[in-house]
Protein backbone atom coordinates (compact mmCIF):
# COMPACT_ATOMS: atom_id res chain seq x y z
CA UNK A 1 0.00 0.00 0.00
CA UNK A 2 1.18 3.51 -0.74
CA UNK A 3 1.33 6.02 2.10
CA UNK A 4 0.24 9.68 1.78
CA UNK A 5 3.74 10.87 0.82
CA UNK A 6 4.16 8.14 -1.80
CA UNK A 7 2.58 8.15 -5.24
CA UNK A 8 3.72 4.58 -6.04
CA UNK A 9 3.32 1.33 -4.15
CA UNK A 10 6.53 -0.55 -3.28
CA UNK A 11 6.60 -2.75 -6.40
CA UNK A 12 5.95 0.12 -8.79
CA UNK A 13 8.49 2.27 -6.95
CA UNK A 14 11.19 -0.40 -7.24
CA UNK A 15 10.46 -0.88 -10.93
CA UNK A 16 10.70 2.87 -11.47
CA UNK A 17 14.09 3.14 -9.74
CA UNK A 18 15.48 0.02 -11.43
CA UNK A 19 14.33 1.12 -14.90
CA UNK A 20 15.78 4.61 -14.57
CA UNK A 21 19.15 3.35 -13.32
CA UNK A 22 19.42 0.43 -15.75
CA UNK A 23 18.94 2.78 -18.69
CA UNK A 24 21.97 4.90 -17.78
CA UNK A 25 25.15 4.70 -19.89
CA UNK A 26 27.69 2.21 -18.54
CA UNK A 27 25.25 0.44 -16.20
CA UNK A 28 25.19 -3.32 -16.74
CA UNK A 29 22.95 -4.39 -13.86
CA UNK A 30 20.91 -3.07 -10.94
CA UNK A 31 20.31 -4.99 -7.71
CA UNK A 32 18.39 -4.52 -4.48
CA UNK A 33 20.48 -5.10 -1.36
CA UNK A 34 20.35 -4.75 2.40
CA UNK A 35 17.41 -5.67 4.59
CA UNK A 36 14.84 -5.28 1.81
CA UNK A 37 16.59 -7.89 -0.34
CA UNK A 38 16.78 -10.26 2.63
CA UNK A 39 13.22 -9.68 3.86
CA UNK A 40 14.32 -8.36 7.26
CA UNK A 41 13.35 -4.74 6.68
CA UNK A 42 11.10 -2.56 8.80
CA UNK A 43 8.42 -0.40 7.14
CA UNK A 44 10.70 2.64 7.49
CA UNK A 45 13.89 0.93 6.25
CA UNK A 46 15.68 2.65 3.41
CA UNK A 47 16.25 1.04 0.02
CA UNK A 48 19.78 -0.10 -0.87
CA UNK A 49 20.32 -0.23 -4.61
CA UNK A 50 23.58 -1.28 -6.25
CA UNK A 51 24.54 -0.05 -9.70
CA UNK A 52 26.94 -2.49 -11.39
CA UNK A 53 29.16 -0.95 -14.05
CA UNK A 54 32.37 -1.29 -16.04
CA UNK A 55 34.95 1.34 -17.02
CA UNK A 56 32.70 3.76 -18.89
CA UNK A 57 30.41 4.66 -15.96
CA UNK A 58 30.20 8.33 -14.89
CA UNK A 59 28.21 9.03 -11.68
CA UNK A 60 27.08 12.33 -13.16
CA UNK A 61 24.46 10.40 -15.13
CA UNK A 62 22.83 9.42 -11.81
CA UNK A 63 22.88 13.03 -10.58
CA UNK A 64 21.26 14.06 -13.85
CA UNK A 65 18.19 12.01 -12.94
CA UNK A 66 17.34 14.91 -10.65
CA UNK A 67 16.70 12.92 -7.49
CA UNK A 68 17.48 15.20 -4.51
CA UNK A 69 20.38 14.10 -2.32
CA UNK A 70 24.14 13.77 -2.45
CA UNK A 71 26.23 11.37 -4.55
CA UNK A 72 30.02 11.00 -4.47
CA UNK A 73 32.30 10.47 -7.41
CA UNK A 74 33.89 7.10 -8.15
CA UNK A 75 36.18 6.16 -5.27
CA UNK A 76 34.41 8.52 -2.90
CA UNK A 77 34.11 5.76 -0.28
CA UNK A 78 37.46 4.12 -1.00
CA UNK A 79 38.74 1.59 -3.48
CA UNK A 80 36.41 -1.26 -2.49
CA UNK A 81 33.15 0.37 -1.44
CA UNK A 82 33.69 2.79 -4.32
CA UNK A 83 31.03 5.42 -3.76
CA UNK A 84 27.41 6.44 -4.01
CA UNK A 85 25.12 8.29 -1.68
CA UNK A 86 21.58 8.87 -0.46
CA UNK A 87 18.80 10.31 -2.59
CA UNK A 88 15.05 10.69 -2.20
CA UNK A 89 12.70 9.14 -4.74
CA UNK A 90 8.91 9.32 -4.34
CA UNK A 91 9.33 10.25 -0.69
CA UNK A 92 11.55 7.25 0.01
CA UNK A 93 15.22 7.21 1.06
CA UNK A 94 17.37 5.33 -1.45
CA UNK A 95 21.04 4.50 -0.87
CA UNK A 96 22.78 4.08 -4.22
CA UNK A 97 26.07 2.16 -4.31
CA UNK A 98 28.45 2.07 -7.29
CA UNK A 99 29.91 -1.40 -7.89
CA UNK A 100 32.74 -1.96 -10.39
CA UNK A 101 32.41 -5.38 -12.06
CA UNK A 102 36.06 -5.39 -13.15
CA UNK A 103 37.11 -4.91 -9.53
CA UNK A 104 34.67 -7.62 -8.43
CA UNK A 105 36.27 -10.04 -10.90
CA UNK A 106 39.71 -9.22 -9.46
CA UNK A 107 38.48 -9.65 -5.87
CA UNK A 108 37.05 -13.05 -6.77
CA UNK A 109 40.28 -14.11 -8.47
CA UNK A 110 42.12 -13.26 -5.23
CA UNK A 111 39.52 -14.96 -3.03
CA UNK A 112 39.80 -18.31 -4.81
CA UNK A 113 43.52 -18.13 -3.96
CA UNK A 114 42.77 -17.32 -0.33
CA UNK A 115 43.73 -13.66 -0.61
CA UNK A 116 41.80 -10.55 0.40
CA UNK A 117 42.41 -7.05 1.71
CA UNK A 118 41.01 -5.14 4.69
CA UNK A 119 40.57 -1.41 4.29
CA UNK A 120 39.40 1.29 6.72
CA UNK A 121 35.86 2.55 6.31
CA UNK A 122 33.72 4.62 8.64
CA UNK A 123 31.39 2.58 10.85
CA UNK A 124 33.29 -0.70 10.26
CA UNK A 125 35.31 -1.38 13.41
CA UNK A 126 37.30 -4.27 12.00
CA UNK A 127 37.69 -2.65 8.60
CA UNK A 128 36.12 -3.47 5.26
CA UNK A 129 37.14 -6.80 3.68
CA UNK A 130 37.38 -6.71 -0.09
CA UNK A 131 35.19 -9.83 -0.14
CA UNK A 132 32.18 -7.72 0.86
CA UNK A 133 31.68 -7.26 -2.88
CA UNK A 134 31.22 -11.02 -3.27
CA UNK A 135 29.04 -11.20 -0.18
CA UNK A 136 26.69 -8.60 -1.61
CA UNK A 137 26.29 -10.58 -4.82
CA UNK A 138 25.31 -13.62 -2.79
CA UNK A 139 22.55 -11.77 -0.92
CA UNK A 140 21.38 -9.07 -3.36
CA UNK A 141 18.27 -9.45 -5.50
CA UNK A 142 19.02 -8.68 -9.13
CA UNK A 143 16.45 -6.30 -10.61
CA UNK A 144 17.86 -5.61 -14.08
CA UNK A 145 20.70 -7.18 -16.09
CA UNK A 146 22.91 -10.00 -14.85
CA UNK A 147 25.58 -10.24 -12.15
CA UNK A 148 27.83 -13.16 -11.20
CA UNK A 149 27.36 -15.21 -8.03
CA UNK A 150 29.94 -17.46 -6.43
CA UNK A 151 30.13 -19.94 -3.59
CA UNK A 152 32.41 -19.13 -0.66
CA UNK A 153 35.91 -20.18 -1.85
CA UNK A 154 37.49 -23.03 0.09
CA UNK A 155 40.88 -21.33 -0.01
CA UNK A 156 39.35 -18.31 1.74
CA UNK A 157 37.87 -20.55 4.45
CA UNK A 158 41.37 -21.85 5.05
CA UNK A 159 43.32 -18.58 4.97
CA UNK A 160 41.00 -15.84 6.21
CA UNK A 161 40.29 -17.06 9.78
CA UNK A 162 43.96 -16.86 10.74
CA UNK A 163 44.27 -13.33 9.37
CA UNK A 164 41.21 -12.13 11.27
CA UNK A 165 42.21 -13.88 14.49
CA UNK A 166 45.74 -12.45 14.35
CA UNK A 167 44.17 -8.99 14.13
CA UNK A 168 41.91 -9.80 17.08
CA UNK A 169 44.82 -11.10 19.16
CA UNK A 170 46.95 -8.03 18.56
CA UNK A 171 44.03 -5.71 19.28
CA UNK A 172 43.28 -7.52 22.57
CA UNK A 173 46.94 -7.26 23.54
CA UNK A 174 46.91 -3.50 23.06
CA UNK A 175 43.54 -3.11 24.77
CA UNK A 176 45.17 -4.54 27.90
CA UNK A 177 48.75 -3.32 27.76
CA UNK A 178 48.19 -0.04 25.94
CA UNK A 179 45.01 1.13 27.65
CA UNK A 180 43.68 -1.01 30.52
CA UNK A 181 47.02 -0.85 32.32
CA UNK A 182 46.86 2.95 32.18
CA UNK A 183 43.20 3.33 33.18
CA UNK A 184 41.96 4.43 29.75
CA UNK A 185 38.42 3.15 29.95
CA UNK A 186 36.96 4.28 26.63
CA UNK A 187 39.94 3.18 24.58
CA UNK A 188 40.14 -0.18 26.33
CA UNK A 189 36.42 -0.80 25.73
CA UNK A 190 36.68 0.34 22.12
CA UNK A 191 39.53 -2.03 21.32
CA UNK A 192 37.79 -4.96 23.00
CA UNK A 193 34.77 -4.28 20.79
CA UNK A 194 37.01 -4.03 17.74
CA UNK A 195 38.75 -7.29 18.62
CA UNK A 196 35.37 -9.00 18.93
CA UNK A 197 34.50 -7.88 15.39
CA UNK A 198 37.78 -9.31 14.08
CA UNK A 199 37.01 -12.56 15.90
CA UNK A 200 33.50 -12.57 14.45
CA UNK A 201 34.94 -12.35 10.95
CA UNK A 202 37.29 -15.23 11.80
CA UNK A 203 34.43 -17.44 12.95
CA UNK A 204 32.20 -16.74 9.96
CA UNK A 205 35.08 -17.15 7.51
CA UNK A 206 35.79 -20.60 8.97
CA UNK A 207 32.11 -21.47 8.47
CA UNK A 208 32.19 -20.14 4.91
CA UNK A 209 29.52 -17.50 5.58
CA UNK A 210 29.57 -14.22 3.68
CA UNK A 211 29.58 -10.96 5.66
CA UNK A 212 28.11 -7.75 4.22
CA UNK A 213 28.46 -5.52 7.30
CA UNK A 214 29.05 -5.63 11.06
CA UNK A 215 25.46 -5.03 12.19
CA UNK A 216 24.70 -8.67 13.03
CA UNK A 217 28.29 -9.91 12.93
CA UNK A 218 28.68 -10.72 16.64
CA UNK A 219 25.26 -12.34 16.96
CA UNK A 220 25.81 -14.55 13.91
CA UNK A 221 29.22 -15.61 15.20
CA UNK A 222 27.88 -16.41 18.67
CA UNK A 223 29.86 -13.60 20.27
CA UNK A 224 27.08 -11.50 21.80
CA UNK A 225 28.44 -12.43 25.23
CA UNK A 226 31.17 -9.82 24.74
CA UNK A 227 28.47 -7.28 25.66
CA UNK A 228 28.57 -8.51 29.25
CA UNK A 229 32.35 -8.18 29.33
CA UNK A 230 32.27 -4.59 28.10
CA UNK A 231 29.36 -3.69 30.40
CA UNK A 232 31.29 -4.97 33.41
CA UNK A 233 34.66 -3.38 32.72
CA UNK A 234 34.67 -0.88 35.57
CA UNK A 235 36.90 2.19 35.70
CA UNK A 236 39.87 1.25 37.90
CA UNK A 237 43.05 -0.30 36.52
CA UNK A 238 42.61 -3.71 38.24
CA UNK A 239 39.05 -3.94 36.95
CA UNK A 240 40.10 -3.02 33.43
CA UNK A 241 42.89 -5.60 33.45
CA UNK A 242 40.48 -8.30 34.58
CA UNK A 243 38.01 -7.21 31.92
CA UNK A 244 40.65 -7.41 29.21
CA UNK A 245 41.55 -10.93 30.36
CA UNK A 246 37.87 -11.92 30.37
CA UNK A 247 37.51 -10.63 26.81
CA UNK A 248 40.51 -12.66 25.66
CA UNK A 249 39.31 -15.82 27.37
CA UNK A 250 35.84 -15.46 25.87
CA UNK A 251 37.03 -14.81 22.32
CA UNK A 252 39.77 -17.43 22.41
CA UNK A 253 37.26 -20.06 23.50
CA UNK A 254 34.92 -19.07 20.69
CA UNK A 255 37.51 -19.35 17.93
CA UNK A 256 38.87 -22.62 19.32
CA UNK A 257 35.38 -24.12 19.03
CA UNK A 258 35.56 -23.32 15.32
CA UNK A 259 38.96 -24.98 14.95
CA UNK A 260 40.85 -21.70 14.71
CA UNK A 261 43.98 -22.09 16.77
CA UNK A 262 47.66 -21.52 17.02
CA UNK A 263 49.42 -18.60 18.63
CA UNK A 264 49.50 -15.54 16.39
CA UNK A 265 52.43 -13.17 16.72
CA UNK A 266 52.15 -10.55 19.45
CA UNK A 267 53.21 -6.94 19.38
CA UNK A 268 55.87 -6.08 21.90
Hey, which residues does 95 pair with through a beta bridge?
Answer: 48, 86
| Structural domain contains residue 3 | no
| Structural domain contains residue 159 | yes
Give pLDDT, residue 262.
53
Question: Are 31 and 132 found together in one domain?
Answer: yes
Task: Determine phi and psi for 129, rounding to 5 degrees.
Answer: -75, 140
| Structural domain contains residue 265 | no
pTM of the shown model: 0.91
Where is average pLDDT lowest: 18-32, 101-115, 179-193, 248-262? 248-262
Question: Are 73 and 133 found together in one domain?
Answer: yes
CA 49/CA 95 separation, integer angstroms: 6
User: Does residue 105 carry a pLDDT above 70?
Assistant: yes
More confident residue, 170 or 266: 170
Mean pLDDT of the chain: 93
User: Does residue 143 carry a pLDDT above 70?
Assistant: yes
CA 201/CA 220 separation, integer angstroms: 10
| Structural domain contains residue 263 | no
Over range 45-62, report the average pLDDT.
Answer: 92
| Structural domain contains residue 268 | no
Containing structural domain, residue 214: 154-257
Question: Are 162 and 66 found together in one domain?
Answer: no
Question: Are 166 and 129 found together in one domain?
Answer: no
- Domain end, chosen from 126, 145, 164, is at 145
Q: Distance of CA 151 to CAs 86, 114, 157, 174, Å?
A: 30, 13, 11, 36
pLDDT tens track for 213-239: 999 999 999 999 999 999 999 999 999
Query: How many separate domains does the chain show?
Result: 2
Amino acid sequence: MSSPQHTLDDDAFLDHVADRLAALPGVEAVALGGSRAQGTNRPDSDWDVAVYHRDAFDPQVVRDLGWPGHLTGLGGWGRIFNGGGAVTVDGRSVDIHYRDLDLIDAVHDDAVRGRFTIEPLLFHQAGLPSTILLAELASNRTLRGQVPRWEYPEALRTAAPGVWWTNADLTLHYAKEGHARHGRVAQCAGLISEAACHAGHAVLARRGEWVTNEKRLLARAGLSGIDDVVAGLGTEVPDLLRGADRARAFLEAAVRREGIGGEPPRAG
